[in-house]
Structure formats: C-alpha cells, structure tokens
C-alpha cells in the first residue's frame, strides 16, 4: 500500500479546481490541507477537516500551489550566446539568424555533454517550482542530430517536441524546399518515435505559412500533434494556421490582429505567452489583457533557450506578466499552472484535486500573489513531484 502524507497549516492553497474553495478559477482555500496518496492528490480542504495519514508536514502558514507547467522550452543545446545578448543590449535587434550559432555548438557536442546541460537546467527549473516541462529539438537540423536531441529529451520528459523546422538548416540555405522535404520525410520518420508534438517557427527568416502547413500536416499524419511558434517577430499566418489545424498552442503571440485574437478566443488553441523572450530581446510585450478579455485561454512559459530567453524561472515570467502584460496575479499564476497544462492538453497536472498528480510547490510566503509582489526573490521553498519531495 502506498503511504499517505498530509500537508497542513497552509495559509493559501491554490487548487485550480473551481468546484472547491472560493469558486474562483484558482479554487482558493484558506487555512487548508492537502493529502497525498502515492503519486496522486487524495484530498484537499480545510485543515481542521483533514483525514488522518501516515505522515504530516507543517506548511507553517505559507502558500501551496500546483507545480509550474512550463509548456515551452528549448533545453537540448550546447554553448551560449552571451555576445549576441550583449550586442542586443547595445542596440542590435534579435533575428532568427542567431539560432545558427547554437546549431553549430550543438552539433559539435557529445551526447553526454548535451544531456549534462539539459539536466543542469532541469534541476535549476525544479528548484524554482517547475514540475512539468516540455522541450524541443531544433538545434540539430540534420536527421541524426534532431533524432538524438529528442532521444535525450525523452529520457527526462514525456512532453517532447520535434522542431526540425526551427530554421532552414544552413546546409540547405540555397534550397529551402529540399529542407522542407527532409523535415517532412526522412527526418520526420527518424524523429516521430521519440516525440509527442511537432512545432514549426512560422516567421520571416524561418518558414512561411504554406511551408508550416505542409510540415505540421506531415507530422500529424505520423501521429504528432501540432503546436506553433507564431507571430513572435511580426504579424503573420501562424496563429490562424494554429487554429485551423487545432494546434494545442500558438506560442509567442506578440503581434496579433483582431482576427487572430478572435480566432484564438473561439478555439481550443491556447495562446502561450513567453515574456522572457520580450524581456531578453527588448521587444514589445504580448497583450495578455486583450487575449483574456476576448476569452482566449492563456498559458505562461519560459521559452528557456540560449538565444532569446535564457531564463528557467517561471516566477520571473509571472512577475513580468503582471507588471508588463497587465495580467492580475491570479491570472498569471493560473496561466503558469493550469494554462500550461491546457497547452499540453493535460488534465492530470496543473491542478490540485483528487486524482491529479501530486506535483506541488510550497512558497516561503503566505499567498501566491507574492510571486509578483516580491519579484526576483527565491520564494520557492519546497517542491513535490509525483508525491515525492524533490526540493
Ligand atoms: O522561441 N523563436 C524561435 N525560437 C526560439 C529562439 C531560439 C534561439 O534564438 O535560439 C524562441 O524564441
Ligand atoms: Fe521557443
């Protein structure tokens, strides 16, 4: 029989279960307790009503929320791009071209070095409360290098995304059509067994709408589900294509027309906002308020990668979203937990309700609002993953 643990004396519990607690989307319970049985949540409610269990943890009058679901990262890479960042902070602008620097470093790295790098950033993210992460290939751009990136990623997460279509490989600079044929043919065959998702960077300097449609459709035929890097650097067809193909997520969504916003609001495609990218590229902020007011589902993620957003910190992204994207603290916390789960089409994570995975974060603060109220302060004080305390 699995052992059970009760966490008591929780000042504020975020359940993301509107049927419990205060009835808000966050399903807040004050003076709460959570019971964990094995790897699942067994019970949530008021502390005074908590059932007896084998083990007891005192939260000390602090806040507990679901572990963060980082539904967009690029963590299989080698090297860094400090010089490019420095140049940007001196006035240079961000382009997709910098990706080539990381492609060269990644191709040159051993499997061991790539995995050690991935493990390093995963541990960093876990310490900051991330209990689920999605990650992508996209810095190999050959059949072998893309497949090995996915094999390495799949050893650490179920949420693996094939992004052979990050940019046209430098080896095919003179023949992009041949590269699209590779991405939808031999490379897809080698990669599909290791991935759940297929992604494409639909942008000037990367892939246009027709190429993106061909790539995602080919992936779908091999059992991969689409998600898209859409409308990051300019207006374009990415968001509309995401909705047309019922992609789980349109990521970035920085440059949106009213039609794009309407399309998202009337679809199951989540708008995943990545404010670390706008921070690190000094770009305009995505308009989260406009999306939320229209009724779209919004997720918040890090986009952690060495080029456009080298942060693994979801709390940092929450603070940016509240300060600069006009989200309320409640909305930002929901988007970084339940929103991320929606962007991965998951209901077993991102919420603390009976039956869900016991992925929890304990804050050294009395409420989740402190994640935005106390920016830059390492507030995550405990992390449970699948019922086991891991930080
Ligand atoms: O999501 N936009 C495309 N890909 C990444 C950036 C990758 C890089 O610059 O290395 C992004 O921002
Ligand atoms: Fe990205």
pLDDT of residue 96: 87
Portion of the chain with pLDDT greater than 90, in percent: 98
Residue range 208-219: average pLDDT? 98
Same domain membership, residue 252 and residue 145: yes
Mean pLDDT over residues 205-230, rounded? 98
Tokens of 389: 């305390």
pLDDT at 144: 98
How many Å apart are CA 274 and CA 59, to the nearest integer? 31
The parent domain of residue 251 ranges over 69-343
Q: Ligand 1: which of 280, 305, 317 to mutate, most ligand atoms within 8 Å of CB?
A: 305
Q: Which residues are annotated as a binding site?
A: 72, 74, 81, 139, 166, 229, 232, 303, 305, 307-308
**How many structural domains does the chain have?**
2
Cβ–ligand 1 distance for 232 under 6 Å, the answer yes
With pLDDT > 70 as the criterion, what percentage of the chain qualifies? 100
Q: Are 191 and 290 in a shared domain?
A: yes
Per-residue DSSP letter, 141? -
pLDDT tens-place string over residues 364-375: 999 999 999 999
Same domain membership, residue 168 and residue 23:
no
Q: What is the mean pLDDT of the chain?
A: 97
What atom of ligand 1 comes closest to residue 303's alpha carbon?
1
- Look at residues 327, 343, 359 and tell me which one is the last residue of a structural domain: 343
What is the band of 1 on the pLDDT scale with cuts at 50, 70, 90?
A: low
Contact 333, 291 (CB under 8 A): no
Is the pLDDT confidence value at 66 over 60? yes
Task: Say what the pTM is.
Answer: 0.98
**Ligand 1 lined by 47 (C-beta under 6 Å):** no
What is the mean predicted confidence (pLDDT) over 275-291? 97
How far, in Å, is the centroid of ligand 2 from the Cα of 270?
A: 15
Q: Tens digit of pLDDT for each residue in 125-164?
A: 999 999 999 999 999 999 999 999 999 999 999 999 999 9
Which pLDDT tens digit goes with each residue over 69-105? 999 999 999 999 999 999 999 999 998 889 999 999 9
Give the residue carrying structure tokens 């599909």.
Answer: 192
Average pLDDT over residues 358-387: 98
Binding residues for Zn(2+): 72, 74, 229, 303
Residue 170: pLDDT above 90? yes
Mutate to test the pocket of ligand 1, among 93, 163, 166, 207 (most ligand atoms within 8 A of CB): 166
* Alpha helices per DSSP H over 99-224: 99-108, 111-127, 143-154, 176-184, 186-191, 209-221
Ligand 1 pocket check for 296: Cβ under 6 Å: no
Say yes or no: 250 and 313 in one domain: yes
Shared-domain flag, residues 18 and 160: no
Q: Which residues belong to the annotated binding site for 4-imidazolone-5-propanoate?
A: 81, 139, 166, 232, 308
Residues 39 and 87 in one domain: no
Which residue CA neighbors atom 8 of ligand 1 most closely?
Answer: 307
| 149 in the same domain as 187 | yes
pLDDT at 385: 98
Do 82 and 63 belong together in one domain? no
Alpha carbon nearest to ligand 1 atom 9, residue:
307
What CATH number is attached to the domain comprising 331? 3.20.20.140
Together in a domain, 215 and 316: yes
Together in a domain, 169 and 39:
no
Cα distances (Å, whole numbers) of residue 60 to 4, 64, 66, 353, 375: 19, 11, 18, 21, 22
Task: Locate 31 and state its tokens.
Answer: 């003076």
What CATH number is given to the structural domain containing 11? 2.30.40.10
User: d(Cα 51, Cα 61) in Å, to the nearest integer?
Assistant: 19
Query: Using one digit for the tens of pLDDT, what is the confidence trace for 267-282?
Result: 999 999 999 999 999 9
Mean pLDDT over 304-327 rounds to 98
Whether residues 251 and 123 share a domain: the answer is yes
Do 167 and 178 lie in a common domain?
A: yes
């Amino acid at each position: 029989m699995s052992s059970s643990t009760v966490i008591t004396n929780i000042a504020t519990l975020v359940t993301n279960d509107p049927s419990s607690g205060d009835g808000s989307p966050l399903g807040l319970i004050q003076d709460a307790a959570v019971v964990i049985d094995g790897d699942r949540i067994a019970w949530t409610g008021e502390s005074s009503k908590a059932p007896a269990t084998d083990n007891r943890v005192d939260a000390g009058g602090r806040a507990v929320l679901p572990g963060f679901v980082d539904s967009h990262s690029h963590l299989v890479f080698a090297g860094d791009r400090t010089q490019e960042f420095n140049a940007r902070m001196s006035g240079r602008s961000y382009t997709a071209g910098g990706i080539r620097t990381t492609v060269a470093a990644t191709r040159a790295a051993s499997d061991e070095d790539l995995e050690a790098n991935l493990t390093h950033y995963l541990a960093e993210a876990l310490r900051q409360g991330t209990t689920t992460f999605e990650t992508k290939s996209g810095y190999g751009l050959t059949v072998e290098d893309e497949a090995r990136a996915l094999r390495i990623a799949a050893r650490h997460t179920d949420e693996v995304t094939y992004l052979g279509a990050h940019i046209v490989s430098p080896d095919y600079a003179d023949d992009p059509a041949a590269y699209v044929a590779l991405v939808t043919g031999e490379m897809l065959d080698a990669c599909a067994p290791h991935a759940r998702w297929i992604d494409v960077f639909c942008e000037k300097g990367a892939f246009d709408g027709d190429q993106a449609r061909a790539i995602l459709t080919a992936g779908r035929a091999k059992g991969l589900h689409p998600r898209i890097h859409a409308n990051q650097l300019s207006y374009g067809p990415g968001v509309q294509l995401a909705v047309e193909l019922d992609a789980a997520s349109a990521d970035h969504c920085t440059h949106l027309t009213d039609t794009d916003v309407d399309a998202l609001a009337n679809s199951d495609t989540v708008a995943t906002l990545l404010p670390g990218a706008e921070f690190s590229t000094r770009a305009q902020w995505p308009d989260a308020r406009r999306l939320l007011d229209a009724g779209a589902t919004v997720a918040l993620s890090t986009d952690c990668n060495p080029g456009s957003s080298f942060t693994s910190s979801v709390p940092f992204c929450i603070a940016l979203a509240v300060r600069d994207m006009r989200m309320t603290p409640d909305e930002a916390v929901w988007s970084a937990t339940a929103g991320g789960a929606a962007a991965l089409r998951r209901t077993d994570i991102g919420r603390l309700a009976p039956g869900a995975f016991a992925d929890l974060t304990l804050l050294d603060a009395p409420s989740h609002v402190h994640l935005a109220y106390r920016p830059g302060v390492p507030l995550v004080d405990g992390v449970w993953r699948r019922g086991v305390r891991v930080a």
